[in-house]
């Protein structure tokens, strides 16, 4: 009986933690496209939990959907419920279609539920349809937000405008988004996609102006593998780290890994192929747990300024040294690097992020007075006044706390 009571208390504690929308002091990690019916078992959820995955998308049309929600709750994992088909059917015939109502009623009280995923990459022309489904879900369940994932820079046909900030700001405003998510997969064979940083600037600024969380993606699969235009680089530990670290520097509160399972029918999907975990699972785990080691810097942070050393990418600005905290006089580099100034829990931080997935960047920091570096394991390392040189590894990030 004592074991049963202890287990009940532990389960109650886990479920209570799940009820918190954004865990205090934590950056959430989401696995996009996870398990289909045949691979939805306890061991799979255990593996994700061990890798620090806090949330997954779950296709609610699966026969195992409710069992997967129960397993997610058991392992402290939240659910982004994919209800795109239900939402589309409701928006086309709201007077007669009852499937969305039935589904929301069935899952809205489940402790693992985090949000409802109703559309991926809409154009501006879809705003009326999106709002029909979004507002109805919010009436049925005001406790859980609706998730709409937006486009990166694209054509007028895809966006509905030829100016990217108009696209992001219009959708965020007209759909009254409670979280701002967009995808861009920037790792190409000849380097990182240059206009990705403009996307980051645009979406991060919009989220800050509206006071809503920014959710960002990191590509963990070889996207467009079978296309004749497949010029993206195969994910490596370095280019995944670069994506994650850049997202953090722009204030992202949820890092979305695309994908966990094989979505293309290829054996080159990095983490799970044909229901079998591949050796690249360890790559995801390493990058994700490194992120978690420094998440107290970024969870709930406020981005004060961003700028670039050396040669700023398209749509970005050079670092303005007056934006730096007083204890750091300057940051210089021999290759382009992103510098972000953040504030959190009464302290200011400076994050310096590599823009290269395969080259080391030489960084020179002039400290006007003492500061502390937070290393990859989350340890504090004192920095004396004076100039110090750092070899920033490919995809890496330096973080300094400036009290």
pLDDT tens for residues 253-311? 999 999 887 666 544 455 665 667 776 788 889 999 999 999 999 999 999 999 999 99
State yes or no: pLDDT of 8 exceeds 70: no
pLDDT at residue 261 in the model: 79
With a CB cutoff of 8 Å and minimum separation 6, the contacts of 29 are 52, 53, 54, 55, 254, 255, 257, 288, 291, 292
Cβ contacts of residue 16 below 8 Å, gap of 6+?
A: none
CATH fold, domain 21-298, is TIM Barrel (3.20.20)
pLDDT of residue 7: 38
Residues in the chain: 403
Q: Measure CA of the first residue to CA of the last residue in the chain; give whole Å.
A: 51
Cβ(102)–Cβ(61) below 8 Å: no
pLDDT at 9: 38
* Residue 152 banded pLDDT, cuts 50, 70, 90: very high
**CB of 164 closer than 8 Å to CB of 198:** yes
Beta strands at 214-219 and 78-82: parallel, antiparallel or unpaired: unpaired
Q: pLDDT per residue over 51-110, tens digit each?
A: 999 999 999 999 999 999 999 999 999 999 999 999 999 999 999 999 999 999 999 999
Indicate if the pLDDT at residue 228 is higher than 80.
no
Q: What count of Cα atoms within 13 Å lies in the side-chain half-sphere of residue 85? A: 7
* Banded pLDDT at 125 (limits 50, 70, 90): very high
Which residues of the chain does CATH 2.60.40.1180 include?
302-402
Half-sphere exposure of 283 (CA within 13 A, CB side): 23
Give the tens place of pLDDT for each residue, 14-53: 444 454 678 888 999 999 988 888 888 999 899 999 999 9
Q: What is the pLDDT of residue 36?
A: 86
- Give me the helix-helix angle, 237-249 and 196-210, nearest 10°: 40
Alpha-carbon distance of 358 to 339, in angstroms, equals: 19
Q: Is the peptide bond before 28 cis (omega within 30 degrees of 0)?
A: no
pLDDT band at residue 382, thresholds of 50, 70 and 90? very high
Is the predicted pLDDT of residue 182 greater than 90, yes or no?
A: yes
Residue-level pLDDT at 86: 98
Looking only at the bridges linking them, the beta strands covering 191-192 and 187-188 are: antiparallel
pLDDT averaged over the chain? 91
- For residue 280, how far is the Cα from the chain centroid? 19
In Å, what is the CA distance from 175 to each residue of 126, 127, 187, 376?
10, 7, 30, 38
Q: Which of 118-127, 185-194, 240-249, 318-327 has the lowest mean pLDDT?
A: 185-194
- Domain 302-402 belongs to what topology? Immunoglobulin-like (2.60.40)
Percent residues over pLDDT 70 in the chain: 89
Within 8 A by CB and 6+ apart from 223, the residues are 185, 232, 258
User: What residues contact 215, with CB distance under 8 A and at least 6 apart?
Assistant: 30, 179, 180, 181, 182, 252, 253, 254, 256
pLDDT of residue 310: 98
Coil, strand or helix: which one is 292?
A: helix
For residue 126 the two structure tokens come to: 């879809």
Q: Are strands 337-344 and 302-308 parallel, antiparallel or unpaired?
A: antiparallel
Distance CA 31, CA 370 (A): 39
Looking at the chain, which residues constitute the CATH 3.20.20.80 domain(s)?
21-298
């Amino acid at each position: 009986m004592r074991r049963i009571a202890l287990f009940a208390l532990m389960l109650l504690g886990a479920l209570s933690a799940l009820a918190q929308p954004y865990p205090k002091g934590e950056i959430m990690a989401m696995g996009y496209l996870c398990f289909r019916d045949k691979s939805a078992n306890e061991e799979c959820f255990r593996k994700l939990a061990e890798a620090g995955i806090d949330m997954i998308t779950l296709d609610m049309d699966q026969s195992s959907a409710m069992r997967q929600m129960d397993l997610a709750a058991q392992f402290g994992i939240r659910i982004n419920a994919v209800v795109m088909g239900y939402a589309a059917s409701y928006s086309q015939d709201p007077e007669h279609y009852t499937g969305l109502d039935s589904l929301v009623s069935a899952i809205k009280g489940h402790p693992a539920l985090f949000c409802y995923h109703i559309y991926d990459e809409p154009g501006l022309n879809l705003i009326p349809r999106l709002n029909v489904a979004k507002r109805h879900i919010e009436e049925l369940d005001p406790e859980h937000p609706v998730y709409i994932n937006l486009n990166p820079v694209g054509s007028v046909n895809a966006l509905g405008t030829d100016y990217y900030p108009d696209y992001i700001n219009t959708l965020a405003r007209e759909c009254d988004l409670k979280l701002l998510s967009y995808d861009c997969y920037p790792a190409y064979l000849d380097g990182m996609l240059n206009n990705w940083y403009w996307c980051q600037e645009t979406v991060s600024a919009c989220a800050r102006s509206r006071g809503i969380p920014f959710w960002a993606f990191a590509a963990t699969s070889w996207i467009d593998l079978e296309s004749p235009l497949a010029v993206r680089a195969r994910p490596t530990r370095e280019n995944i780290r670069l994506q994650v670290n850049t997202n953090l520097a722009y204030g992202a509160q949820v890092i979305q890994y695309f994908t966990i399972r094989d979505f293309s029918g290829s054996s080159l999907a990095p983490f799970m192929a044909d229901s079998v975990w591949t050796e690249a699972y360890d790559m995801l785990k390493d990058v994700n747990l490194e992120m978690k080691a420094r998440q107290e810097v970024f969870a709930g942070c406020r981005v004060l300024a961003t700028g670039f050393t050396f040669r700023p990418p398209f749509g970005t600005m050079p670092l303005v040294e007056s934006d730096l905290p007083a204890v750091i006089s300057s940051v210089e580099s021999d290759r382009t690097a992103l510098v972000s100034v953040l504030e959190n829990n009464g302290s200011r931080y400076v994050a310096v992020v590599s823009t290269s997935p395969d080259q080391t960047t030489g960084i020179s920091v002039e400290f006007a007075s003492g500061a502390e570096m937070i290393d990859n394991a989350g340890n504090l390392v004192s920095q004396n006044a004076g100039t110090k040189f750092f070899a920033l590894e490919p995809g890496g990030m330096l973080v300094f706390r400036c009290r």
